[in-house]
């Protein structure tokens, strides 16, 4: 009987450790790992480039200067201090997706990601995009809310109003608000 109790205890211990999250593939990026979201905005014709650095939990938001009728190539980068976390997003591209919500602006967005940031379901994460600006400032509070989603059940690149991309399920890894001006 005493041996049976020890076997039962041993099985419970083995079960507890074998079900531990430590054995699973852990998210390579947590919300606490992102301190900055950086957008590099390059005007397509002139090649003029500007960098906008959103610092998480900052009391101010950077304002992206856009000109109506122009097209911009935009790259998104994620940092943890001086460490570039963008590669972590690419290495777990099937677990990540960006949603671009242009509020008070009329901007058409096309995802331009290469294979390094295109998910196995064919959807592009959104690290590289093209913005065709119809009207940058269409209200007194024009802005971009950029959201990095982790582990969504499904994603779509489709446009819904001024929002490009949607997800079902998942959680927010990071969110940034950028003002938009002319």
Pseudo-torsion of CA 22, 23, 26, 31, nearest 10°?
-10
* Confidence band, pLDDT 50/70/90 cuts, at residue 27: very low
Q: Cβ(127)–Cβ(149) under 8 Å?
A: no
- Residue 164 or 2, more confident: 164
Q: Is residue 57 part of a domain?
A: yes
Q: Is residue 54 part of a domain?
A: yes
pLDDT digits (tens, 9 = 90+) for 31-69: 458 999 999 999 999 999 999 999 998 889 999 999 999
Has residue 29 got a pLDDT over 70?
Answer: no
Q: Is residue 45 part of a domain?
A: yes
Q: Is residue 10 part of a domain?
A: no
Has residue 73 got a pLDDT over 70?
Answer: yes
Q: Among residues of the chain, what percentage have pLDDT more than 90?
A: 79
Averaged pLDDT, 70-81: 97
- Residue 18 or 101, more confident: 101
Q: Which domain holds residue 160?
A: 27-181
Q: Is residue 9 part of a domain?
A: no
Q: What is the CA angle 62-87-120, rounded to 5? A: 110
Q: Is residue 6 part of a domain?
A: no
Give the pLDDT score at 1: 54
Measured distance CA(121)–CA(44) in Å, rounded? 29
Q: Is residue 33 part of a domain?
A: yes
When divided into structural domains, the chain yields a total of 1
Q: Is residue 2 part of a domain?
A: no
The position carrying tokens 């009728």 is 69
């Amino acid at each position: 009987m005493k041996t049976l109790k020890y076997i039962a205890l041993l099985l419970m211990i083995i079960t507890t450790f074998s079900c531990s999250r430590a054995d699973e593939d852990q998210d390579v990026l947590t919300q606490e790992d992102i301190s900055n979201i950086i957008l590099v905005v390059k005007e397509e014709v002139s090649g003029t480039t500007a960098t906008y650095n959103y610092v998480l939990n900052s009391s101010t938001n950077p304002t992206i200067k856009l000109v109506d009728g122009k097209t911009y190539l935009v790259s998104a980068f994620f940092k943890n201090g001086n460490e570039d976390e963008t590669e972590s997003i690419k290495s777990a591209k099937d677990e990540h997706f960006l949603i671009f919500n242009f509020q008070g602006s009329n901007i058409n967005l096309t995802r331009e990601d290469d294979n390094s940031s295109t998910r196995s379901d064919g959807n592009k994460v959104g690290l590289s995009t093209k913005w065709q600006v119809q009207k940058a400032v269409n209200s007194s509070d024009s802005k971009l809310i950029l959201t990095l989603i982790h582990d969504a059940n499904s994603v779509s690149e489709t446009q819904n109003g001024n929002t490009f991309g949607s997800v079902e399920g998942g959680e927010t890894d990071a969110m940034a608000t950028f003002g938009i001006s002319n």
